[in-house]
């Protein structure tokens, strides 16, 4: 009889729940307090035959312990619940603004440039950002003492000092011309290729310069390629990207890997040629270097300079993007300020 009662209490104890303080208090009164059902059951001790008293005592003690353990568990459960409900969603709050990302301006310009040159039959080529001396300098006709090889321009990479493991001098590429060398080494003319990628130069970061930036480089090698082809291609590109009214001029220049070489200026897109800070009041801004591929470079890459000629041009993507979108500080491109980025559309 008492054993059945004890079993019933045990069962009820185990299945008890408490979802709030009141239910917890109910549990305490029912199973822990002096007036608890366990206390009442203990009161029946005197009706128990002497020889069964000991066993009955053990049952009561077990019940008491189970009640204590259960009580602690209910308290813990309630505390966790409270923490969760505090963090619960407040349905009265206004909804969060729907905020889809936008295309980064550098990416947008990169896509536009790629499309213009793809329509002219250029394919895309890629190369490593860590380059050896041959592809970044030597094959491109840089004399051994050329200042661009020095530490202030180039980020060299720590070399393995053990002679048996000696590797070519490695550096972060300073221009994407290194990709042109790789393409010329690996393929036969006609070659029409465009390489876009990150380049690295040890320069102080300012509104106009950064130590990491992007270049686009184009190369065309075939029979009878002339400076006229270079000019025509550049004219087409500039007018497609900046509009038909943009003026273009070529200024004689020098690069080790092109001969003759020219720098390309366009009429300032910001003041429309009237003169402003960006064009330093000249009405012109430089956008690219270019020229006819030096015969030595063709030879270095396994192409016969008697049979083939080529032109190349290279420009900074940041500069082009600044002009196109009238951005006056190059650092904005890498600061990831949402107020800047969300002004550009998603492509």
Among all residues, whose Cβ is closest to ligand PHE? Answer: 314
Name residues whose C-beta falls within 8 Å of residue 136's C-beta, 6 or more positions apart in sequence: 154, 171, 173, 174, 175, 177, 178
* Nearer CB in complex with ligand PHE: 137/242: 137
* Nearer CB in complex with ligand PHE: 177/269: 177
Question: DSSP class of residue 32?
Answer: I
Q: How far is the CB of 174 from ligand PHE (least distance, A)?
A: 7
* Nearer CB in complex with ligand PHE: 23/203: 203
Q: How far is the CB of 219 from ligand PHE (least distance, A)?
A: 8
Question: DSSP class of residue 146?
Answer: -
Question: DSSP class of residue 256?
Answer: T
3-state secondary structure of 69: helix
Q: How far is the CB of 132 from ligand PHE (least distance, A)?
A: 17
* Nearer CB in complex with ligand PHE: 156/340: 156
Binding region for ligand PHE (CB under 6 A): 175, 177, 217, 255, 258, 289-291, 312-314
Q: How far is the CB of 88 from ligand PHE (least distance, A)?
A: 58
Contact 32, 68 (CB under 8 A): yes
CA distance 287 to 243: 15
Q: How far is the CB of 313 from ligand PHE (least distance, A)?
A: 5
* Nearer CB in complex with ligand PHE: 27/200: 200
* Nearer CB in complex with ligand PHE: 141/246: 141
Omega into 243 within 30° of 0, i.e. cis? no
Q: How far is the CB of 304 from ligand PHE (least distance, A)?
A: 20
Strand partners, 288: 264, 315
CA distance 218 to 63: 86
3-state secondary structure of 18: coil
């Amino acid at each position: 009889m008492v054993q059945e009662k004890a079993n019933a209490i045990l069962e009820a104890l185990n299945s008890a729940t408490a979802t709030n303080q009141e239910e917890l208090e109910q549990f305490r009164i029912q199973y822990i307090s002096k007036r608890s059902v366990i206390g009442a059951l203990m009161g029946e001790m005197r009706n128990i035959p002497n020889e069964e008293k000991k066993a009955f005592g053990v049952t009561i003690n077990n019940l008491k312990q189970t009640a204590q353990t259960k009580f602690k568990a209910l308290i813990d459960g309630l505390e966790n619940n409270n923490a969760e409900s505090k963090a619960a969603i407040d349905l009265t709050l206004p909804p969060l603004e729907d905020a889809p990302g936008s295309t980064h301006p550098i990416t947008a310009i990169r896509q536009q440039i790629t499309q213009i040159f793809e329509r002219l039959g250029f394919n895309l080529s890629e190369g490593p950002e860590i380059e050896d001396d041959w592809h970044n300098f030597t094959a491109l006709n840089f004399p051994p003492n050329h200042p661009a090889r020095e530490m202030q321009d180039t980020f060299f990479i720590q070399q393995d000092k053990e002679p048996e493991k000696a590797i070519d001098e490695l550096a972060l590429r300073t221009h994407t011309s290194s990709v042109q060398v790789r393409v010329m080494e690996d393929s036969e003319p006609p070659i029409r290729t465009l390489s876009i990628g990150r380049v690295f130069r040890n320069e102080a970061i300012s509104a106009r310069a950064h130590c990491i930036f992007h270049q686009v480089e184009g190369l065309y090698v075939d029979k009878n390629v002339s400076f006229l082809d270079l000019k025509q291609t550049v004219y087409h590109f500039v007018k497609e990207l900046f509009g038909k009214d943009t003026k273009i001029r070529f200024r004689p220049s020098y690069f080790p890997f092109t001969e003759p070489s020219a720098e390309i200026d366009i009429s300032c897109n910001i003041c429309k040629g009237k003169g402003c800070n960006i064009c330093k009041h000249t009405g012109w801004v430089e956008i690219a270097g270019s020229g006819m591929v030096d015969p030595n470079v063709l030879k270095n890459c396994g192409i016969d300079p008697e049979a083939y000629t080529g032109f190349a041009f290279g420009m900074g993507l940041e500069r082009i993007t600044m002009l196109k979108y009238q951005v006056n500080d190059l650092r904005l491109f890498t600061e990831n300020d949402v107020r800047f980025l969300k002004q550009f559309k998603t492509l």
